């Protein structure tokens, strides 16, 4: 009996170890949404089945799986419809306007490989991005679109690519963007990597938080596609969204 109780206790500890400890909300923010990827609830998240211009991969639900207590997105060299590759995308069904949007993730490595955490909606086109270029594993890209119509419009100095003091593909780190009425800030762990106070760049309508793994066809930006390096995977532990009290 003691052996059984000891084994049960160890199993409970192992189970709890898979879940990240809840941390206090950042100063000035109140937790509005929290999701740990120890399961995939399709009433909370929708799985992408589409693609877009500039993406060599088609999003397929089978490329999003829970493995080892976290979400794993895979980029495969498999043909589907008019694409030679398949990736994955998740979209939160709930929309948000303003807040702090956090993810705990490990980016995928590889030329032309893009791992993203972002907010998006259109029309008009509005988007706030945290992107990782797989051929620049020690950098993070910040980006924002705030267009008057359905066409994406960038305002300099975006996109901004900033060097990190770590390899984003080697382990899990926390990334966040803070979206307020007149300001946007991007963070890697506690490092402020980009900021804008230009009100014309700040979206003012709701967006859905999303994450994806895809393959860029723009070699000048993300490097050439290397089929022999695939499959690759990005991993996600949790998502948290905060709003002002």
Q: Hey, how many other C-beta atoms are within 10 angstroms of the C-beta on 6?
A: 10
pLDDT at 3: 41
* 27-243 under CATH 3.40.50.170, yes or no: no
Domain ranges within the chain, ordered by starting residue: 27-243
48: nearest Cα among 79, 87, 16: 87
Whole-number Å distance between alpha carbons of 47 and 90: 5
Per-run averaged pLDDT (10 residues), the chain, 245 residues: 40 39 82 98 98 97 96 95 97 98 98 98 96 98 95 93 98 98 97 97 97 98 97 98 97
Whole-number Å distance between alpha carbons of 185 and 176: 8
pLDDT at 9: 40
pLDDT at 218: 97
Adjacent-strand bridge partners of 117: 130, 211
Query: In degrees to the nearest 10, what's the CA dihedral of 161, 162, 164, 169?
Result: -10
pTM of the model: 0.89
Helix (H), strand (E), coil (C) string for 87-147: EEEEEECCCECCEEEEEEEECCCCCCEEEEEEEEECCCCEEEEEEEECCCCCEEEEEEEEC
pLDDT at 59: 98
């Amino acid at each position: 009996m003691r052996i059984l109780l000891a084994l049960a206790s160890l199993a409970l500890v192992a189970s709890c170890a898979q879940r990240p400890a809840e941390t206090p909300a950042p100063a000035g923010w109140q937790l509005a949404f929290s999701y740990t990827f120890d399961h995939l609830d399709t009433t909370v998240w929708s799985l992408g089945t589409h693609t877009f211009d500039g993406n060599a991969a088609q999003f397929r639900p089978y490329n999003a799986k829970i493995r080892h207590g976290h979400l794993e997105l895979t980029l495969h060299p498999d043909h589907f419809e008019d694409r030679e590759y398949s990736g994955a995308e998740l979209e939160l069904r709930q929309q948000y306007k303003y807040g702090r949007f956090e993810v705990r993730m490990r980016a995928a490595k590889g030329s032309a490989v893009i791992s993203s955490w972002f907010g998006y909606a259109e029309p008009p086109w509005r988007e706030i991005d945290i992107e990782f270029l797989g051929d620049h594993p020690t950098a993070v890209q910040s980006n924002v679109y705030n267009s008057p119509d359905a066409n994406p419009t960038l305002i300099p100095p975006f996109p901004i690519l900033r060097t990190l003091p770590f390899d984003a593909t080697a382990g899990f780190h926390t990334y966040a963007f803070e979206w307020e009425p007149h300001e946007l800030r991007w963070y890697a762990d506690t490092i402020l990597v980009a900021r804008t106070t230009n009100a014309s760049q700040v979206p003012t309508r709701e967006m859905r938080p999303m994450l994806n793994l895809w393959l860029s066809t723009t070699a000048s930006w993300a490097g050439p596609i290397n089929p022999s390096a695939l499959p690759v995977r990005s991993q996600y532990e949790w998502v948290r969204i905060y709003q002002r009290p």
